[in-house]
Structure formats: structure tokens, C-alpha cells
Amino acid sequence: MLRRNIRLRREYLYRKSLEGKERMLYEKKQGKPIPTELRNEEAALRQEIDLEDELTAIPKSHIDDEYANASQRDPKILLTTSRNPSAPLTQFVKELKIVFPNAQRMNRGGQVISEIIETCRAHDFTDVVLVHEHRGQPDGMIVCHLPFGPTAYFGLHNVVTRHDIKDKKSVGTMSEAYPHLILNNFSSKLGERTANILKHLFPVPKPDSKRIITFANQSDYISFRHHVYEKHGGPKSIELKEVGPRFELRLYQIKLGTVDQSEAQTEWVIRPYMNTSKKQKILGD
């Protein structure tokens, strides 16, 4: 099993290394005046263009490869924590289990990350979500896509559990229907990448689902909100209720690999100088 995973990972990295060459070839094929240095390649490029179709004309990226089959089956998520979790962290993870459909919660115990990842691969999990804490307060969340990544690292801020949501009691039993997603203000290239990682944690909902999950980016802080709605009479008489939990996410790193791979290439990481300008927005406008 270990040799097979090493071979598959090596093949994946090789496919990813071809992206730069394929992009250069694609740009050469575009209908622009032929530079002098490309005139010797004109005949070969025209022959390749004649053989291409809609599926092969535009080169795919590693992002396409990572989530190529994501829509073919519902996500299957494992939720766990850092070792010896406090009561508040345990309660927060229990609430996240309701947030993410098809999620399973596991007590970390003495297991190391590499063992958890291998077990999840063997049982066809699509993602692993690890939640960390500092002095009893949840302060970090890692989203690791399987089998080969990516892994997104988020800071957790202003966590409010369902118990502390004032309107929660009026909702009753929490619905486990697949939620509709609202992804707001992820307009940059990195924002689109982040939204892609988050949205694939949720399956496609039914049209009549009354659950709504919102990820709203403002100044690179992603606000998470969880609501249900009820109709009373006409289409304009809709009551929206927040059911929790509620928190903010701050992306600080994306790696092209799984969380157990310390040697995985860093795709993006926040730098100290990025915080010096208030006008600079990383994820969106």
C-alpha cells in the first residue's frame, strides 16, 4: 500500500510538472502574428491545432486534476482534533459534524497524522478536517483534500457555538438536509482557489432544502454563517433564523500535498509584508 501511494503521488507530481510546458504550447497556438523565433515551429503547431477538440484545446491545471471527480460522488469527511482536546473544542467539532453532511467524527487519541491520512485513503474519504485550539479556544482549522491534496490552513476567530446563538432555541431539531451554499466576494485567483476548496466539502443540495451555508469574504476574513428559513404564506414572507455555529476563517497557507507531507510544495503562504497595506485584498475586492 505504501509503495502504491508513493507511485501514485509521483505520477501526480509528474502530471503537475507538465503544466508549464502545456501552457507555453497553448499560448504559441493562439492566433497572433508569428514571431520570428517560432516560424520554424509553425507547421507542427498547425498540425496539432487541427487534431485538437474542445476537451484538449485548453490545457488543464493541477486544480482540475485535484477535483476532477469531485462531482461524481458526495464528499466523505473525517473530523478530528489536536490531541487531548478541551470540552469547548470537542463541543465545537460536534457542531461541525452537523454542518458538514456525511461527516464522521473521530477521537484523535494517540494516532499520528500519517496514520489518519492512510486510514482515510483506504476507506475512500475525500477530505480530512483537523481543528486545533489554544488555551481552550478553537484557533485553527486544516482542510486536507484526499488522496493527494491540496491542504488549506486557516486561522479560526470569534467562534460562537450553537448554544450561544440567541435564536437557536426557536429552531428545534437541527436539519441534516444538504445545504445551499453562498460564496461571496472570492473574486481574485486565490479567492477562487479558496472557494473551490470550501465548496467541495458540501454535496449538491435538493432544490427544496431550507438550510443555507454562507462563506462571505471581507478584508480577507471569511465569515461563516449557518441559517435555516421558513415560509409563511407568500414568497415574500420568509423568516430567516441563524442556527450556528458562527466563526471567521483567515487563510494563511495552501500546500500542494496532504497534511502529513512536510516536503509538499507551498502554493501560497501569507507574508508579514502583506499586512502592511490596508488597501491590499488577497481573496477579493
Model pLDDT for residues 106-115, shown as the tens digit of each residue: 999 889 999 9
Go through the chain and tell me how many residues it has: 285
- CA 66, distance to chain mean position in Å, is 11
As a 3-state breakdown, the chain gives helix, strand, coil percent values, each rounded to 5, of 35, 30, 40
Reported as a single tens digit per residue, the pLDDT across 88-98 is 999 999 999 99
Site of grid cell 433564523: 241
Residue spans of beta strands (DSSP E) within the chain:
77-81, 103-105, 127-134, 137-145, 151-160, 180-184, 211-218, 221-231, 238-242, 246-256, 265-269
**C-alpha torsion sign, points 243, 244, 246, 251:** negative
Reported as a single tens digit per residue, the pLDDT across 164-201 is 886 554 455 678 899 999 999 999 999 999 999 999 99
Residue 40's alpha-carbon distances to 21, 23, 43, 189, in angstroms, are: 18, 19, 7, 35
Site of grid cell 484523535: 108
- Residue 43 pLDDT level (bands cut at 50, 70, 90): low
Q: Give the lowest-confidence range in 17-26, 84-93, 121-130, 190-199.
A: 17-26
Residue spans of beta strands (DSSP E) within 161-237:
180-184, 211-218, 221-231
Structural domains present in the chain: 1-60 (no CATH), 77-269 (3.40.50.10480)
pLDDT (average), residues 66-81? 88
